[in-house]
Amino acid sequence: MKRVFPILAILTAVLLSYAMYQGLVVAPTEKTMGDVQRIFYYHVPSAWTAFLLFAINFVASVIYLFRRNPKLDAVALVSAEVGVVFCTVVLVTGPLWARPVWGIWWTWDIRLTSTLVLWLIYVSYLMLRRFSTSGQTPVLAAALAIFGALDVPLVYFSIWYFRTQHPQPVIGGGGSIDPRMLHVLLINWLAFMCFAALVFWSRYRAEMLQREVEEMQSLEALLEPRGAL
Amino acid sequence: MSFVSSITAATLAKDIRLEWRSKDAINSMLFFALLVVVVFSFSFDPIAEESRQIAGGLIWVAFLFAAVVALNQTWARELRNQVLDAYRVSPAPANSLFLAKALGNFLFVAILEALMTPLFIVFYKLRALGPAWQLIPIAALGTWALVVNGTFFAAMSLRTRAREIMLPLLLFPISLPSILAMVRATTAILTGEESAKFWIVLLVAYDLVFTTGCLLLFETVLQAE
């Protein structure tokens, strides 16, 4: 397994550079938006990656509550962390794209708002993990992750109704996509997925090592003779 | 089932008696909500038409903040003298305890709302243009939505540093759809421009989903120590 990591790292680097070349040079320039549309190749893959990571977090949390396997808890923690990072990328690149194209930084549109709410829920998840003092943080966190997942459809429906009642003048594209653009998009997504997997993996290893260290330290503290204190 | 309900009733009666004698939660909530109303009313000073548009939001923000004050005290009371540990080792089902706490909080927040609503009407010169009776189910469903999750997350935040801060940080993001529903429904009725039906249905769905979720997961959270 250890040899796979550098191979994945090299593969990711190659893929990311190739995808960047494809996105910035090869992909055709969009007719109405011009070059600014190329942010699309970063925005959309980040969003898909973030949603996938949140889904992993949910599945790992549910299984954790049944199996109580610490590895699953580490998977849940790491997927939430990496997911929040990618979700932040989405929320930053979105306004950067919206400003020149729509003329505004932000609108309370359904996708923007539900992504923001999702981001808020997972930040609160990470806060709970950080502030929790008991040894049962994984259980509490898993329960919160399930609540967050239950919330997602409700968030979606509420904002969908809220916004269809008051339509916005801005409409983001729609319709068909040039096959060359789709091709570049998928390459970028693949590169982003590899990158996410890489970060996920190294963060997971660090988390497991950290836990091992903490366990050793508490064991040592127990074994220490009283006089030595 | 009768076992569950008798324990629920006993715990609820105990909480109401404690609250009746000390009036801690009600007094602090009332005063807090009053301060919020006064501050908002200073900062906006709206005419009648504008206040119809914004009052729904203001009322629910005031109730939300005030409810957090009460919710924070729910479990803190049981920490003294290790009462919560006694609950854990007792054979009583965890859910009956949870239901008692949630019902108690519901009652306290409902009393707060009943007392504060006239004040809102006076300060903001409110008169509903839509069917005003619908405000009662909206208030009941909305309060339950806040209180059921609030009671659950208060139990969760017992095991954290900075407990009092942690509750709103957990509660508000999850509650966003229900807050949106309460605010939009109230505004719809005050302005009389649209029907509040969708929002009431959404609140019912929210309450059902999260009441089920809380009942399924509460035992796990209570025993997590």
Backbone angles phi, psi at B34, to 5 degrees: -60, -45
* B168 neighbourhood in chain A, CB within 8 Å: none
Rounded to whole angstroms, the Cα distance separating A20 from A40 reads 12
Predicted local confidence at residue A227, as pLDDT:
55
Q: Which residues contact A142 (CB under 8 A, 6 or more apart)?
A: A61, A62, A64, A65, A73, A76
Report how many domains make up chain B. Answer: 1
Q: Which of A87, A136, A140, A160 to mutate to test the interface with B (most CBs of B within 10 A)?
A: A140
Distance from CA of A129 to the nearest CA of B (A): 9
CB within 8 Å: A157 and B202: yes
Low-confidence ranges of chain B (pLDDT < 70): 1-4, 48, 225
Q: What is the pLDDT of residues A108-165, one digit of tens each?
A: 777 888 889 999 999 999 999 988 877 788 999 999 999 999 998 888 888 877 776 5
Interface of A with B (CB under 8 A): 65, 117, 120-121, 123-124, 127-128, 131-134, 136-137, 139-140, 143-144, 146-148, 150-151, 154-155, 157-159, 161-162, 165
**Residues above pLDDT 70, as percent of chain A:** 91
Judge if pTM exceeds 0.90.
no
Is pLDDT above 50 for A167? no
Asked whether residue A200 carries a pLDDT value surpassing 90, the answer given is yes
Nearest alpha carbon to residue A48 among A20, A76, A90, A13 = A90
Q: Any chain A CB within 8 A of the CB of B211? A: no
pLDDT the model gives residue A169: 42
Q: What's the average model confidence in pLDDT over A188-198?
A: 92
Can you give the residue ranges of every domain in chain A? 4-166+182-228
Range of the domain at B54: 2-223
Residue in chain A lying closest to B160 (CA): A132
- Cross-chain Cβ contact B206/A154 below 8 Å: yes
pLDDT, residue A225, reads 65
The answer to whether B169 contacts chain A (CB < 8 Å) is: yes
Considering only CB atoms, which chain A residues are within 8 Å of B202? 154, 157-158, 161
Share of residues in chain A with pLDDT > 90 (%): 43
Residues of chain A positioned with their CB less than 8 A from the CB of B217? 143, 146-147
Backbone angles phi, psi at B5, to 5 degrees: -70, -35
- Candidates B176, B203, B216, B220: best to mutate against A (most CBs of A within 10 A) is B176
Q: What DSSP character marks residue A28?
A: P
Mutate to test the interface with A, among B187, B198, B217, B219 (most CBs of A within 10 A): B217
pLDDT at A122: 95
Report the residue of chain B nearest A149, measured CA to CA.
B174
Cross-chain CB nearest to A151 (options B156, B174, B181): B174
Task: Tell me the pLDDT tens digit for each residue of A12-59.
Answer: 999 999 988 888 888 888 777 778 888 888 888 999 999 999 999 999
Contact list in B for residue A121 (CB cut-off 8 A) is 173-174
Mean pLDDT is lowest, of A1-5, A66-70, B6-10, B209-213, for A1-5
Contact list in B for residue A127 (CB cut-off 8 A) is: 166, 169-170
Partner residues linked to A132 by β-bridges:
B160
Residue B202 forms contact with A (CB below 8 Å)? yes
Single-letter residue type at B55: A
Neighbouring residues of A79: CB distance < 8 A, sequence distance ≥ 6: A53, A54, A56, A57, A60, A200
| Residue B170: predicted pLDDT | 92
The pLDDT of residue A194 is 92
Number of A–B residue contacts, CB under 8 Å: 91
Interface check for B136 against chain A (CB to CB < 8 A): the answer is no
Contact A148 B174 (CB under 8 A): yes
For residue A101, name the pLDDT band (cuts at 50, 70, 90): confident
With a cut of 50, say whether residue A172 has pLDDT above it.
no
pLDDT at res. A165: 53
pLDDT for res B108: 93
**C-alpha to C-alpha distance for A181 and A183, rounded to whole angstroms:** 5
Among chain A residues, the shortest Cα distance to B218 is held by A143
Q: What is the pLDDT of residue B202?
A: 93
The answer on pLDDT for A171 being more than 60 is: no
Residue A33 per-residue DSSP state: T
Other CB atoms within a 10 A radius of the CB of residue B46 amount to 17
Q: What is the pLDDT of residue A2?
A: 73
Cβ–Cβ of B160/A139 closer than 8 Å? no
CB contact under 8 A, A155 and B176: yes
Contact A140 B156 (CB under 8 A): yes
**Is the Cβ–Cβ distance between A181 and A28 less than 8 Å?**
yes
Contact residues on chain B for A128, CB-CB shorter than 8 A: 156-157, 160, 166, 169-170
Please tell me the predicted confidence (pLDDT) of residue A173. 47
